[in-house]
Amino acid sequence: MNAADLGLPNEEVRESRPREGGGRRVGVPSTALFTDQYELTMLQAALRAGTADRRSVFEVFTRRLPEGRRYGVLAGVGRVLDAIENFRFDPDLLDFLRERGTVDGPTLEWLARYRFSGDVLGYPEGEVYFPGSPLLRVEGSFAECVLLETVILSVLNHDSAIAAAASRMSAAAGRRRLIEMGARRTHELAAVAAARAAYVGGFDSTSDLAAGFRYGIPTVGTSAHAFTLLHDTEREAFRAQVETLGRGTTLLVDTYDVAEAVRTAVEVAGPELGAVRIDSGDLLLVAHRVRAQLDELGARDTRIVVTSDLDEYAIASLAAAPVDAYGVGTQLVTGSGHPTCSMVYKLVARAASADPAAPLVPVAKKSLGGKASVGGRKWAARRPDADGVAEAEVVGTGPVPGELVDHQLLVPLVVGGEVVAREPLEAARSRHLAVRAALPMSAIQLSRGEPVLPTEYV
């Protein structure tokens, strides 16, 4: 993706060129302790009871969408695959568990040999989902599957919340470009994951260089108010930036007086000025005034970028404004009010014994208060209407009806412990935009409502 594709000036884009596959593989430490202690104590008890080797099926799903949301967006699948591969109990981790007395000696010996050898099926990254959608199905022995619960939920709950917010913002922005700028508003590692999830949800670039390096996401950025304040005059600051980054750069024009800054910016850079950025004030009013002023000064091709605590509602309110790109930070990396998706990881079937040939028995928690689960290993399909528009999410445990065979949603991700479904991040982003376009039009309305598709159990 180049600068023209982003709709931003050439000098605004500082891409970290990705290798094939969409980024640079970065060494990460073991993910084995990204877990809750009770996963290990359950393991110890199951090993002693002789039930640890029972074939089991766990599923990830959510019982409801965040209030007012019409659909969810699955993000983080690629990171989950990395986490499963890196789930190893290195000597230092085993020493830590031994010193704490977390588990006994036989359990430590079992953990030292741990390698996930089961299967994972799931919705591909970028897909949308609804209450009850079996987003991930993890199959193997109880012991090897139960250990993955926390890290899987940690990744999917965070990334899917960001992607859902990003998707709503992307829909509100239409064809205008979106820049993720939330790194300073969240944990430094969460910022990298958030930039990745935002890209899946429809954003075009990020200000976070670590995300650019790791995932090949286009990176952008020029200057902050501090750069203007460093210089004796705004003109000197603009001149320094233009002389360094070229006339196609983006100048920040709201440090002092916007109208004077726009005039100075065009005088310094000429009508070839790439863009101006507005970070405060009544953005609707100021954008119209700046557009008129730029046109009067002959800078008709100079673009306008707006920032300043935007969310999907603010973006939608600027639909009639002459804006070319939006920069979004705080609201994006906090899920725009919904920082988690309330996904759960539940045992839905297990073998009657440790015998590999033992049949699977559906199991489910029975609970009041909306926390009941549906047992059994599930498939899922999205039924289209006669025009190809999705009309229902269909979930079942028996044979797949013939008319739904070609509309199934789960795909193999891990087979026999080996990852089989790695893909460039761009593929997940393109998938999401295509899937969202196949939903009923009401899906992208920002007004509160129920899930745009019902979930039907068969």
d(CA 92, CA 115) in angstroms, rounded, equals 17
Residue 18's pLDDT is 41
Predicted confidence pLDDT, tens digits, the chain (458 residues)? 333 333 443 333 333 334 434 566 666 679 999 999 999 999 999 999 999 999 999 999 999 999 989 999 999 999 999 999 999 999 999 999 999 999 999 999 999 999 999 999 999 999 999 999 999 999 999 999 999 999 999 999 999 999 999 999 999 999 999 999 999 999 999 999 999 999 999 999 999 999 999 999 999 999 999 999 999 999 999 999 999 999 999 999 999 999 999 999 999 999 999 999 999 999 999 999 999 999 999 999 999 999 999 999 999 999 999 999 999 999 999 999 999 999 999 999 999 998 989 999 999 988 766 777 899 999 999 999 999 999 999 999 999 999 999 999 999 999 999 999 999 999 999 999 999 999 999 999 998 889 999 999 99
Residue 356's pLDDT is 87
Sheet holding 418-419, edge to edge: 360-362, 343-351, 55-62, 136-141, 119-122, 411-415, 418-419
CA distances from 213 to 6, 23, 217, 220, 412 (A): 18, 6, 8, 13, 28
Alpha-carbon torsion, ordered 61, 66, 67, 69, to 10 deg: -90
Residue 447's pLDDT is 87
CA-nearest of 138, 162, 131, 144 to 345 is 138
CA-nearest of 303, 289, 325 to 251 is 303
Q: What is the DSSP string of 382-428?
A: EEE-TTS-EEEEEEESSPPPGGGGGGB--EEEEETTEE-----HHHH
Global pTM reads 0.92
Alpha-carbon torsion, ordered 225, 227, 230, 235, to 10 deg: -90
d(CA 86, CA 80) in angstroms, rounded, equals 10
Place of tokens 């990020």: 206
d(CA 326, CA 353) in angstroms, rounded, equals 57
d(CA 272, CA 353) in angstroms, rounded, equals 73
